[in-house]
Structure formats: structure tokens, C-alpha cells
Amino acid sequence: VQEKLELLKQNKYNSVNSLLDTLALELAAKVDAKIANGEEIGLLEGIPFGIKDVYMVQGTYTTASSELLKNYKSAYTATAIQKLLNAGAIPLVKENCDSFGHGSSSENTIFGAVKNAVNPELVGGGSSGGSAVNVALDYTVFSIGGDTGGSIRQPAGYNHIYGLKPTYGRVSRFGLMAYASSTDCVGPLAKSIEDIRIVLNVMSGKDPKDQTTITSTEITEEAVKFSTVKTIGYFKNFVDSEAIDSKIKADFLASIEKIKAKGIEVKELDFFQSDILVSTYYTLAMAETASNLSRLDGTNYGNRIEGENLIDSYAVTRSENFSEETKRRIVGGNQVLSQGFSDEIYLKGLAVRDQISENFSKDFQEVDVILSPVTPSTPPKIGDSLKDPLAMYLSDAYTVGFSLGQLPTLTVPQGTITGLQITAAKNNDELVLQFANFLK
Ligand code: GLN
């Protein structure tokens, strides 16, 4: 713990928003005392981990990497984090990310752009960039990210580690700062499938504080040892798209051939075009974030800036304290929700989402898992994505569809330079881990 805290303190990759050193050392001493007493300790006891800076941990700063909440301290602890603390894991750090989860590069932050662990000239990915980088550099053993449209899977891919977005509802969102509530998922990033499995088990379960949580059974070590996957599918239009990087495409098709050679049946599947996926996702995500962030007006939380009157105070507080990217999303979201637009844009988005889910239901009658590259493009240089938000949105083309479908999906650090994504039907998280082991 001490060693890792030292490394985090240097913050060479801008992955750190705040250190939880006092808490970490106190908890570590308790575990040491237990060991000295000859007491048995649990699987996660004493294991150091990181937390994306969007989770409440009582008494610690939770900034969402924003100016607005720069000095905000959590009043309570998120359910998922509390479960890890109960299991004895040791929180070291609140990790840098795109503000409120808005972004794909971890540059939309007041704490400086997160640098990629593999090549520090490139972005760390986002929005859970700090979490991925800390794991990749062994500053943490695992980190808890948040994935609304790819924010665990994409940075995991960019930093060559594992990252799981579980089935929506498997892990409680209570205490996660909401971005888009219908796709927000809590999940782990780690260097091994086994770590992902253990952490997922601890965090899972129904929570009376989050009515969307579902009951799930523990995924045992035995259950993921051998793969029961017989048929896999991939979306032909993803690999035929003009937007895909040629190396990613070649590597992906080579992985498919290898899988075929192992006796697995491979099917080509039809799916929606990337632009439909991206526009549907951003329509709904922006609408939800406009609604979720409306409470941040400086009254109850955050840096309030006084204006000439109450309404003006709200306006100044929000204009001065939200980033460009966050404001773009609030304005866009309020527009698609407003009278005259909502039927044509928001409700249409919901209808397309239903079609996407139906498409998945059909696919999973034919195949056990779907494989895809994590991203069509490679990580950009730091500074580039800020210049072109649309290009950044389009780089999410392969992750957002699975979010809209609320499916379990895992990035594995192989297959292509930005990783391979394994997706299964809802509640089949186990199958995803099985197949990841099979590919090892
Ligand atoms: N890049 C996507 C977005 O900006 C996904 C972010 C996320 O999953 N939090 O919306």
C-alpha cells in the first residue's frame, strides 16, 4: 500500500485526482494486525484499489473532475464501494476521468489530460482513463470505473488491460454520480480475468437503494474454467466500415480465423450502421444527462457564484463551472427533450433503441457471444480530440450499441491493438468470462 501510494503521489500520468492516503494506511494497519494475530484473511483483504472520481466515499472529495464540484466532499458511500470496503479492499485514490463521464479521452477534466500508460503522448482513453492507467502501471491492483457508453471498455483497450461492463443492474448505481441512468454501469478494470470475476462477485446484488438492480448468482472459479461457447458472431458492417483502422481490421479478422481454427462456429451478423448507433446513444445520453445534472445549480452542491438574482445565480454558476463538453451535452439534451422536438428526436431515439434490443435478442438465438473490436480507431494524441468532438463521438461506434442493449461486455487486451470486446446476452456475464479464459 505504502509503495503504491508513493507512486500515485508522483502523479506522472495525471491519473490521480485525490489520494486517500490516511484512510488507506489506517485500513492497511488493521489488515497487518490481523495477519500478525494469525487470523485468516479474505480474498480481497488488503488489496489496494482505485476509484473513478464519480463514486461517493464518505468524507472524501468527489469532484467528477469538474470545477463545479472541485471542493465537494461525499456525505455517504456508494453501495459498490461499501461492499469492497466490507471485503477488506483498500481504497488508495480517486481517479481522473472525463468530467461527469462526458468524453472518450480523459481530457475533459480540470486535473490535466490523463496520459496513456503504453505511450504517454497518446490519450489515456475515457472516460475512466485514470482508472485504466493506474491498473496498467500497477499503481492499483484493480480500479472501479463507470461505463455508460464504453468508458470502462475503451480505456481498458487503450491501455491493454481487462475491463468489464456487467449486465445493467447487476451492480448497484447508488452513490455513482449519474450520467445517463439507463445505461450507467459500475464495473472493474484489472490485469486478470480472475480479478475481474472476484471483484464483480463482491459488488453484485440487489440493492434497495437502486430499484433497477437485479438478483444474480455468484460466478464461481469452476464456472468460468471451461468455455461452453460453440458459436460466435460478429457484425460484418463493423469490419467493412470505412472508418475502421486497417490494422485493427486485419488483426480482428485474424483473431476470428484463429477462433475458427479452434473448432468454434463463426457467423456473420447484420447490425445497425455506426452512425445510427452513435446518434441514438448520444440523443438519449444527452437527454438523460441534461436531466441528471439539472440539480447542480449551486444551491445544494458545488461552487456557487452569485448573480444579480436567483435565476441569474443558477446561470452564472452553471456557465462558469461546467466544461464546454458538458455544456454541449446539457444544451443538446434539453433541446431533444423540449416541446416540438421530443417526439421527433427523443421518442424516436427510444424507438430505435428498442429495435437495437430486438436485434440483439435475435442474434443471441443464433450465437453464444458476439465479438467486436473495442474501437474503430487507435488512441489519438493528447490535444486532438478536443478539437473535433464529432470525431470523438464516432470513435465510440463499437461500444455504445451494447450499452443501449444493457448487455454484459468485456474488453480483453488482445486481438487488436485496442482490444477485443466479448459480449453475451443479458445476465450471461459468466459466459463472457468463460470465453475470455478460452481465448487466453
Ligand atoms: N464516450 C462516451 C460518452 O462520452 C461514453 C462515456 C461513458 O461511458 N461514460 O458518452
Q: Is 179 in the pocket of ligand 1 (CB under 6 A)?
A: yes
Q: What is the mean pLDDT of the chain?
A: 97
What distance in Å separates the CA atoms of residue 52 and residue 57, rounded to the nearest whole number? 11
Could you say which DSSP state residue 380 is in? P
Three-class DSSP labels, 102-137: CCCCCCCCCCCCCECCCCCCEECCCCCHHHHHHHHC
Ligand 1, atom 4, residue with closest C-alpha: 103
Does the annotation count 127 as an active-site position? yes
The mean pLDDT value for 210-228 works out to 97
H or E element: which one contains 324? helix 324-337
Q: Is 289 in the pocket of ligand 1 (CB under 6 A)?
A: no
Nearest to 107 by CA among 174, 26, 171, 14: 14
Q: What's the N-to-C CA distance of the chain in angstroms? A: 29
Cα dihedral sign, 115-375-324-381: positive
pLDDT at 400: 98
What distance in Å separates the CA atoms of residue 345 and residue 360, rounded to the nearest whole number? 23
Nearest to 114 by CA among 159, 178, 179: 159
pLDDT at 409: 98
Residue type, position 303, single letter: N
pLDDT band at 385 (very low <50, low <70, confident <90, very high): confident
Index of the ligand 1 atom closest to the CA of residue 148: 8
Kindly report the CA angle at 412 between 408 and 414, in degrees rounded to 5? Answer: 150
Per-residue pLDDT of 267-309, as tens digits, reads 999 999 999 999 999 999 999 999 999 999 999 989 999 999 9
Does the annotation count 151 as an active-site position? yes
pLDDT at 140: 98
- Domains in the chain: how many in total? 1
| Beta bridge partners of residue 421, listed in sequence order | 372, 411
Nearest to 69 by CA among 249, 359, 326, 354: 326
Residue located via cell numbers 454484459: 408
Q: Long-range contact list for 397-400, CB < 8 A, 24+ apart?
A: 397/238, 397/241, 397/243, 397/274, 397/277, 397/278, 398/150, 398/238, 398/274, 398/372, 398/373, 398/374, 399/149, 399/150, 399/153, 399/154, 399/374, 399/375, 400/149, 400/150, 400/277, 400/278, 400/280, 400/281
Name the E strands within 43-167: 48-52, 90-95, 142-147, 162-165
Ligand 1, atom 9, residue with closest C-alpha: 101
Per-residue pLDDT of 167-181, as tens digits, reads 999 999 999 999 999
Pocket test for ligand 1, best of 323, 396, 403, 411 (most atoms within 8 A of CB): 396
The values of phi and psi at residue 55, to 5°, are -105, 135
Per-residue pLDDT of 394-407, as tens digits, reads 999 999 999 999 99
Per-residue pLDDT of 327-358, as tens digits, reads 999 999 999 999 999 999 999 999 999 999 99
Per-residue pLDDT of 93-134, as tens digits, reads 999 999 999 999 999 999 999 999 999 999 999 999 999 999
Index of the ligand 1 atom closest to the CA of residue 395: 1
Q: Is 104 in the pocket of ligand 1 (CB under 6 A)?
A: yes
pLDDT at 405: 98
pLDDT at 386: 87
pLDDT band at 239 (very low <50, low <70, confident <90, very high): very high
What pTM was estimated for this model as a whole?
Answer: 0.97
Question: The sheet that has 48-52: what strands, in order across it?
Answer: 16-19, 90-95, 48-52, 142-147, 185-190, 162-165, 409-412, 420-424, 369-373, 231-235, 265-269
ipTM, interface predicted TM-score of the complex: 0.98
| Beta bridge partners of residue 165, listed in sequence order | 409
Nearest to 131 by CA among 109, 161, 111, 86: 161
Per-residue pLDDT of 411-424, as tens digits, reads 999 999 999 999 99
Q: For the domain that residue 263 is a member of, what is the CATH number?
A: 3.90.1300.10
pLDDT at 156: 98
Does the annotation count 357 as an active-site position? no
pLDDT band at 47 (very low <50, low <70, confident <90, very high): very high
* pLDDT tops 90 at residue 439: yes
The values of phi and psi at residue 101, to 5°, are 80, 10
The mean pLDDT value for 217-232 works out to 97
Radius of gyration, CA atoms only, the chain: 21
Catalytic residue among 74, 151, 172, 255: 151
Q: In which domain, by residue range, is 364 found? A: 1-440
Catalytic residue among 52, 83, 94, 165: 52
pLDDT at 340: 92
- Kindly state the cell numbers that stand for 204: 453484485
